[in-house]
Homo-oligomer: A and B are copies of this chain.
Amino acid sequence: MPQNHTDTPGTDDATPALTREALAQAALRVLERDGLAGLSMRKVAAEVGVKAASLYWHVRNKQELLDLLTDAVMGSAEPPPREGDWREQFHAYCWRYRRLLLGTRDAAKVVAGRLAPGPNLLGLMEDQLDRLRAAGFTDADAAMASYLLGAFVQGFVLQEQSPISASEVLGTSRRDIADAAGDLFRALPAETFPNLVDLAGDLTEPNMDARFEFGVQRILDGLAALLPPERR
């Protein structure tokens, strides 16, 4: 079996040394393959060709590995180009963050579990704050707006990705999910739920991009109101 026979790393890297970074990447691969529920220490260990107990040499516990994983996910984020007004850039930030979370399996759940500002997230925050201040927001408002963006996008994607359960209230039909959900709303007693019955179509509108855009626009309009009129 391959073995490191030297203490000075870099001189003989046939076995590339088990770094925390390598662990994070392995965890990311397991996450993609098996989802967050299937992400176990044993599997991550196997992914790097080692036994589960060995991981505890590099990492205090599973949560710390998840923290590394979180920042690894953030690592593939790219700030939008510095073009257009603040609205355009904030808008792009929201959409890119959502795309990022949608792009990695269970990413929203991973990120939501922990507030772990690793180097990658710190870089993004720095950049974002810089643009908000340049747009004319006060320090406090810039900080708040940045936080709001994160909370909103994470919350939205989490909601977006959470599976719809057909509980006994709604029956158990199958079919195209959105249509089925619409029918179920329509099938509710109209005396007790007149609005749900009436808005069944709108409520089960499956275009999540449109729903997201709605939210982003509300927040943009709300933020604009904080600026002096000439900077909006």
Contact = CB atoms under 8 A, between A and B. Distances in A.
Interface of A: 63-64, 67, 71, 112-119, 122, 125-126, 129-130, 133, 139-148, 150-156, 158-159, 162-165, 167, 169-170, 188, 192-196, 198-199, 202-203, 205, 211, 214-215, 217-223, 225
A222 B119 CA distance: 33
A118 B152 CA distance: 24
Given A117-B169, A122-B193, 16 more contacts: A67-B167, A112-B158, A112-B162, A114-B162, A115-B163, A115-B164, A130-B195, A139-B198, A142-B202, A147-B159, A148-B214, A151-B156, A151-B159, A154-B158, A155-B156, A217-B222
Contacts of A195: 125-126, 129-130, 133
Contact of A159 (B119, B122, B150, B196): B150
A154 B159 contact: yes
A140 B192 CA distance: 21
A57 to B, nearest CB: 15
Chain A binding surface SS class: helix
A118 to B, nearest CB: 6
Q: How many copies of this chain does one complex carry?
A: 2
A214 B144 contact: yes
A198 B130 CA distance: 11
A215 B218 CA distance: 11
Nearest to A71: B167
A153 B143 CA distance: 18
Contact of A125 (B141, B151, B162, B196): B196
Given A154-B155, A217-B222, A162 B199 contact: no
10 contacts: A67-B165, A118-B167, A129-B195, A129-B196, A130-B194, A151-B156, A155-B156, A155-B158, A217-B222, A218-B218
A215 B151 contact: yes
Nearest to A196: B126
B115 A162 contact: yes
Contacts of A188: 122
A158 B159 contact: no
Contacts of A146: 203
Contact of A155 (B114, B151, B214, B225): B151
